[in-house]
Amino acid sequence: MNSLIGTYECKADTKGRVMLPSALKKQLSPVLQNGFVLKRAVFQPCLELYPMAEWELLMQKMNGLNRFNKKNNDFIRRFTAGVKMVEVDANGRLLIPKDLIGFAGITKNIVVSSAINIVEIWDKDKYEQAIDDAALDFAALAEEVMGQDDEIDGIS
């Protein structure tokens, strides 16, 4: 699957159903029929939506961990806590289970944001706060993460 693009504002109804934005739904159309995995994010109070093929690739990597190592076993348990299989219904809606709504603090207004090969689902206020917090040190972070190579493929 190619990288996903876009950040969209949506609304969740009282049952936790979210209408996927048409531009995002179009990008996901090749994988819609396979379903998704929805889970708690590791570092932020948001949810991560994995297309099934992306989830299976991640699980292959995790399956290589030695489960007789306590740290590995604890990591697997915590990483997969609250994981749910979800589908987009015929109307283009995604149902977010109540326990995951509680974890992410999702209210009515949400942000659905692409994160390369997955989608993050945020409460709008929490998303805005995370972006504001990250803006303060984003230049330093960008330099640290992406600025390691002075020359990549002959381009400087």
Q: Residue 63 belongs to a domain with what CATH number?
A: 3.40.1550.20
Q: How many domains does the chain have?
A: 1
Residue 2 in any domain: the answer is no
Residue 73 in any domain: the answer is yes
Residue 25 in any domain: the answer is yes
Residue bearing tokens 């994988």: 31
Which pairs count as long-range contacts for 121-126, CB under 8 Å and 24+ apart, including other chains?
A: 121/18, 121/38, 121/46, 121/47, 121/48, 121/49, 121/96, 122/44, 122/45, 122/46, 122/47, 123/45, 123/46, 124/9, 126/45, 126/46
| Rounded Cα–Cα distance for residues 24 and 17 (Å) | 16
Task: Write the DSSP symbol of residue 9.
Answer: E
Residue, of 78 and 133, whose pLDDT is higher: 78
- Domain hosting 113: range is 7-146
- pLDDT for res 144: 85
- For the segment 106-122, the average pLDDT, to the nearest whole number, is 95
Residue 89 in any domain: the answer is yes
User: Residue 61: which residues within 8 A CB-CB, separation 6 or more?
Assistant: none
User: Residue 9: which residues within 8 A CB-CB, separation 6 or more?
Assistant: 109, 110, 111, 112, 124
The structure's pTM equals 0.87
Residue 151 in any domain: the answer is no
Whole-number percent of the chain with pLDDT over 90: 79
Q: How confident is the model at residue 152 (pLDDT cuts 50, 70, 90)?
A: low
For residue 98, the SS3 value is helix
User: Residue 89: which residues within 8 A CB-CB, separation 6 or more?
Assistant: 95
- For the segment 1-15, the average pLDDT, to the nearest whole number, is 90
Residue 156 in any domain: the answer is no
Residue 154 in any domain: the answer is no
